[in-house]
Structure 1
Amino acid sequence: MKRIFLFILTNVAVLAVISVTLRLLGVDRVLDESGAINFNALLTLSAVIGFSGSIVSLFLSKWMAKRSVGAHVIENPQDPTERWLVDTVRRQADAAGIGMPEVAIYDAPDVNAFATGWNRNNSLVAVSTGLLHAMSREEAEAVLAHEISHVANGDMVTLALIQGVVNTFVVFFAKL
């Protein structure tokens, strides 16, 4: 219940900030004096709303991902598997020329891994316990290399920009 309340409160706060910003910029009026649609104002409004959501999502992606799967970030490896995982990610990150990502494990039977974060030097690579149990170390190393490549290529930023463009068009056409 607390989580739902905080989610709603966060959304209301974001909408309030966007509304005040748009009003200060004079972009809150999408109809001109004659009642016709002002397409420039509508497009600007749509872009602000569309990109705001995707940028906020990008900056909160690590926090949201860790919380949504219950990931445990490995700060001090407690067993040989955790040590191997951290060492493998460190070696691959160094080879890719990026900062060391946070490394996390989350409890799930599915064979899965993901990478997230808002830049190459502030990222997270997480793997499921199902992946660690189902795959050999060589296979898991290949999966980790794939995730490191997402970080090195800046895929999270690219996807956030694409999502911003999509959001902009959705808001624009929804208001027509």
Structure 2
Amino acid sequence: MVGRHYVPYIVGDAFRNRTAVEIVPPGETGCNDHCLFQDAESRWHCIGITNAEVTNGESFFHAVGDSPIRPMKVLDPIYEIREGERTCWAPCNVVVGDTIHYFWTDALEFYGVPQSEDERGVFHQRHATAPLSDVRDWTHHGIVFQEEGGVRDPEVVWVGDRWMMIYCRR
């Protein structure tokens, strides 16, 4: 512990030996904000921002592999924005039982994304679920909350009998 902040210590061969593994090849996927999870068949999935230009976040890339530290095969995007949404940023997911919960930021103003006067600075945190047996079969639950002022990058955990969300704010 340094001061009042904890300093994480990551362990494992890839980190001890300082050998980074490129799980998603460079290219159109522009892997930036991303998350990993295992499905019902123990395959690993990586979901993240699809474009190096953050304002073009219109879908989440999707890659699958047998290990979270080995190269993965890039598939078609797992999600594309729907009517009324502007962007897909900062995916986060939580597996509870046989269901995966997806959370992400839909920013109506950030890095020059066009917006109307009444949407200026509004960030939506959205939620969808899918069964682990078919991670592409999303059921949308809409906006979890919205706030002005740069709320983004949700991290969600299931603690006991409730959701806890931590996020960044600029």
After TM superposition, the score normalised by the length of structure 1 is: 0.28
More strand, by proportion:
2
After TM superposition, the score normalised by the length of structure 2 is: 0.29
More helix, by proportion:
1
Which structure's CA Rg is the greater one?
Answer: 1
